[in-house]
Structure 1
Amino acid sequence: MKLGNRIQVYTTGLFILLLVLISAAVYFSFSKIVYDSDVDQTRMEAERIVTGVNERSDALSTDVLRAYVPANGMIRLVLPDGTSEVSLTGGSQENLIEQAYPYEAGEKTEVRRYEGVPYAFVSIPIIWTNGEVVSFQLTRSLEATAQNLNILRIVLMSVALLAMIPFFLSSRLLSRLIVHPIRSLIQTMQQIRGSGQFKHIPYERESKDELAQMAHTFNKMMVQLEENYQKQEQFVSNASHELKTPLTVIESYASLLKRRGTQDEELFQESVEAIHSEAKRMRGLTEQLLLLARKEEHWDVQFESVDLPYLLQTSVSSFEKAYQRKVDLFCPQGIYITTDEQKLKQLLYIFMDNARKYSVDPIEVNVESKDDHVVILVIDRGMGMSQKDLEKVFDRFYQVEESRTEGYGLGLSLAEELAHVLKADIQLSSEKGKGTTATILMPLSEGSHF
């Protein structure tokens, strides 16, 4: 069953159930009130008859009681042995005489049914002419009340049936209003699947209901998917472009070697050197691409307590020997953090290597404290970068200097991935002509102090 039909069936069924319950409650409540009122009236009438008879100066007799017989009821006197002393009926109520007449020692009021007709029954004990206590019973027909209740039942049923028509139409309209955004979502998804385009669902932006939130969330997801798709296309395009250059160089020198390599020793050495250099460049590029392609769960991160001063000292020492660059390190002793030592070293190398490329002055690595966190600063006094470049520097293959051939524009993208798996925050701040500062923010381990 479709969602719209299900909503319509459920809402209509619930409305019918509530309507039946309300109608039944109204009918039975009104019925009880009316019957109780009729019984009270019959009781008061019986008391009036008994009072009137007792005030008569002559003896209580059948003729006296006959004057009080209701037109739609019966008066009866029942002896203690269960026999009827007097039975008087009015109108066409002779059939009441044939009904059982048990003796009631005390006062009693109730509604009884004879042949499907309701009657108000009242029994009051009185003293008979012979001094014996008898049961004075007054029975009055409630057929008019029953007819009125029957009319009420018909009216309630008619109102319920008539009310179902507009409710059925309104529930159908409601189901369409609810299902419309869902249908739009389905159609949009089908169009996306068929055309490959990223489309949005139109909706009322002023609305704050769940359907508007669903459409808004879907549109945001489409924007994100489109951005990721464009980044993926750009990534593939840039990767192809970066690989094309070394492949072209290798192919050119290989063709040159094939034609004249064995004849010219100098050309042979130049070709081998160029091919080797481009092969190393391709290997570095593919290694960084593979690292960026990894998912978080495939990084094999092993967190442990690490002596930060020792880690920084060994990292800086290795970097200085590898690149013959001066690195000034300032780090207090006794600082421990919980991290993956090798991944943090890799993150530091990326920032120090980036500082090396953009400056000729000594690089600074400083450690500061901020609340319960340690702040590692990698500072260079180089050319710096503009705010526009700073916003894009973490994008893959982005390079501040388009003419730069060293590097692939992947280092900072890799740094962002490493920081994510290490649960660290990284930031770059830079000013044109004054240098760049890379910030790594990590929580301190217990027991660490500055």
Structure 2
Amino acid sequence: MFRSLQSRLFLTYLLVAGLVLLFVAVSLLFLLLRSPSGDQRVYLSLERSLPTIARGQGRLLLELEGEELNSTIERMDQMSGARVILINPQGEVLVDSRSTESPVPEEVLQQSGIGQEIVRGRFGKVGEGIWLYVSQSLVQHFRIILASPRPTLMNLRLWWDSVLRPILQAAGIALLLSIFLSWLMSRWVAAPLDRMAEVSRAVAAGDYDQRLQPGGPEEVRGLALTFNEMVTRVQAGRKAQRDFVANVSHELKTPLTSIQGFAQAILDGTAQDEESQQHAAQVVYDEAQRLHRLVEDLLELARMDAGQIDFHQDRVEIITLLSAVVERLSVKAAEAGVDVINKVGQLPVLIGDGDRLAQVFMNLIDNAIKHTPEGGQVSLWGEYADGWISIHVEDTGPGIPEEELSRIFERFYQLDKARPGGMDRGVGLGLAITREIVRSHQGRLVAQSELGRGSRFTVQLPVVRADDTTLAVDRG
């Protein structure tokens, strides 16, 4: 019992409400008992009876003596319901209608009022009974006292109907209302969590289309939004995983099919002459190289994702690095009939991994050469501003459609799928690796393109002081 969150919240709210009501009831009862309201009633009742006795019977009391006086005092007691005490001018008790009760203290006997002033007071001891009294002077300095016991718990019946009963009725209504509100509050808090548990079980079972409707308290709404974002990312991750497996399978299948086919041609004698055998062997070699590059790229991306690649901290002269890369690609550019123009001037020294940065620009310039028609050109230039070096690689190729520009850095995404096979054909991992290397240097890789005019790739790298021993390559 009370194992669910809703039942525990309900019990908690109910206990809090009950304790508050109990505290209010006890406090109110205590205040009522300690308040002067009960005393005030007694005083008012005594004061209503006192003038009648003082004016109407006062002179008569002075004329009576002995048993006749005692009988008259007792009748006054019965009529007023109060203890009647007559005091002489010397402060002595002449007669007391309840002489067996607590005696009147000396200070009360010696008390005197001014004229016809009514004096209030109390006497007695706790445990023996407290008496409330009013007194007034009579003729010839005689005084009369009317006294009544102070209300106690035994007197609750006097004001039960007028005070306690309405309070208890209101408390009962408040308790019922608190039970209902406690149930509503517990349901309001627990319902979204129950729904979240239900959706979590559905997601765990493989239904990634489930989403939560944010509701309940702010914290629960935030949890629902975070949960939806988590499911979306998991769904995207699973889709990326499926796409990755499909792409790898496709990229492996094509070269393996070629290798198998031409190897079979050599084995079964289909390639009989030396030229045919040489061609088959060359195709097998080229496709094996392609497979090797694919495996190397996949391993490199996996190491980057796992943060297992060490980036060396070296001083990098960017102009020297780019000149070396252009030199290495000069033969390929000449064969393609493309001019590579290096306009990069003097720039600040970088702290980074020179080999990895060379790989970045090698890939970007190589792609630019591949996508530039014969007679076109690839231009490089750089700039430095606000602590950042920007290197631009721009070609005069056909450009990239706007709808595909945002996807060129995706793994296995190939813009020109009609490109013929062979050693120069890529598998769509080059730009993905390039972006990861730039990010590892806390840089940015930006692509811009205009159809019919060419594309521009910009590598932005932060300049780190040459004497700084920390290379900003933390992938966070």
Q: Please report how far the alpha carbon of residue 142 of structure 1 lies from its aligned counterpart in structure 2 after TM superposition.
A: 2.8
In the other structure, the counterpart of 2:366 is: 353
Structure 1 252/212 Cα, relative in aligned 2: closer, same or farther at 3 Å? same
In the other structure, the counterpart of 2:172 is: 161
Structure 1 284/115 Cα, relative in aligned 2: closer, same or farther at 3 Å? same
Asked if 1:435 is matched to 2:454, the reply is yes
The equivalent position to 2:280 in structure 1, one of 254, 271, 280, is 271
In the other structure, the counterpart of 2:403 is: 388
The equivalent position to 1:88 in structure 2, one of 83, 96, 114, is 96
Q: Please report how far the alpha carbon of residue 410 of structure 1 lies from its aligned counterpart in structure 2 after TM superposition.
A: 1.2
Q: Please report how far the alpha carbon of residue 4 of structure 1 lies from its aligned counterpart in structure 2 after TM superposition.
A: 0.8
Q: Which moved more, 1:375-384 or 1:357-366?
A: 357-366
In the other structure, the counterpart of 1:201 is: 211
- Count of matched residue positions in the alignment of Structure 1 and Structure 2: 432
CA distance in 2, matches of 1:225, 1:298: 21
In the other structure, the counterpart of 2:30 is: 28
What SS class does the counterpart of residue 198 from structure 1 fall into? coil
Structure 1 441/38 Cα, relative in aligned 2: closer, same or farther at 3 Å? farther
Superposition pairs of residues 68-107 of structure 1, within 5 angstroms: 71-74=80-83, 85=93, 88-89=96-97, 94=98, 97-99=100-102, 102-104=105-107
Q: Please report how far the alpha carbon of residue 149 of structure 1 lies from its aligned counterpart in structure 2 after TM superposition.
A: 5.0
CA distance in 2, matches of 1:120, 1:440: 100
Asked if 1:378 is matched to 2:385, the reply is no
In the other structure, the counterpart of 1:408 is: 427
Asked if 1:9 is matched to 2:16, the reply is no
Specify the code of the residue in structure 1 equivalent to 2:132. Answer: F
In the other structure, the counterpart of 2:181 is: 170
Structure 1 199/60 Cα, relative in aligned 2: closer, same or farther at 3 Å? farther
Structure 1 400/334 Cα, relative in aligned 2: closer, same or farther at 3 Å? closer
In the other structure, the counterpart of 1:228 is: 237
Query: CA deviation digits over 1:176-197, x for unaligned, max 9?
Result: 3332222222222222333x23
CA contact (8 A) 2:396 2:453 kept: yes
What SS class does the counterpart of residue 403 from structure 1 fall into? coil
In the other structure, the counterpart of 1:335 is: 348
How high is the sequence identity, in percent, across the aligned residues? 21
CA contact (8 A) 1:103 1:135 kept: no
Q: Please report how far the alpha carbon of residue 267 of structure 1 lies from its aligned counterpart in structure 2 after TM superposition.
A: 3.5
Q: Which moved more, 1:255-264 or 1:399-408?
A: 255-264
Q: Please report how far the alpha carbon of residue 239 of structure 1 lies from its aligned counterpart in structure 2 after TM superposition.
A: 0.9
CA contact (8 A) 2:351 2:465 kept: no
Q: Please report how far the alpha carbon of residue 438 of structure 1 lies from its aligned counterpart in structure 2 after TM superposition.
A: 1.2
CA distance in 1, matches of 2:63, 2:271: 154
Query: CA deviation digits over 1:346-373, x for unaligned, max 9?
Result: 3333322222221254432322234343
Specify the code of the residue in structure 2 equivalent to 1:98. Answer: E
Q: Please report how far the alpha carbon of residue 315 of structure 1 lies from its aligned counterpart in structure 2 after TM superposition.
A: 3.8
In the other structure, the counterpart of 2:255 is: 246
The equivalent position to 2:246 in structure 1, one of 237, 242, 253, is 237
Query: CA deviation digits over 1:75-116, x for unaligned, max 9?
Result: 56899xxx9845634xxxx4x843365544889956978779
CA contact (8 A) 1:384 1:433 kept: yes
CA distance in 1, matches of 2:41, 2:13: 40
CA contact (8 A) 1:305 1:445 kept: no
The equivalent position to 1:417 in structure 2, one of 428, 432, 436, is 436
CA contact (8 A) 1:313 1:329 kept: no
User: Structure 2, unaligned stretches of length 5 or more?
Assistant: 112-118, 334-338, 468-476
CA contact (8 A) 1:373 1:443 kept: yes
Q: Please report how far the alpha carbon of residue 43 of structure 1 lies from its aligned counterpart in structure 2 after TM superposition.
A: 9.8
Query: CA deviation digits over 1:20-67, x for unaligned, max 9?
Result: 223333333344252464477589789989x989x9899899969959
CA contact (8 A) 1:42 1:121 kept: no
CA contact (8 A) 1:367 1:374 kept: yes
Asked if 1:181 is matched to 2:197, the reply is no
In the other structure, the counterpart of 2:321 is: 314
**What TM-score comes out, normalization by structure 2 length?**
0.73
CA distance in 2, matches of 1:198, 1:394: 26
Specify the code of the residue in structure 1 equivalent to 2:462. Answer: P
Query: CA deviation digits over 1:373-411, x for unaligned, max 9?
Result: 332222222221110120221222111111124111112
Q: Please report how far the alpha carbon of residue 429 of structure 1 lies from its aligned counterpart in structure 2 after TM superposition.
A: 0.5
User: Structure 1, unaligned stretches of length 5 or more?
Assistant: none
**What TM-score comes out, normalization by structure 1 length?**
0.77
Q: Please report how far the alpha carbon of residue 340 of structure 1 lies from its aligned counterpart in structure 2 after TM superposition.
A: 4.1
What SS class does the counterpart of residue 430 from structure 1 fall into? strand
Asked if 1:369 is matched to 2:388, the reply is no
What SS class does the counterpart of residue 377 from structure 1 fall into? strand
Q: Cα RMSD between the aligned structures? A: 4.5
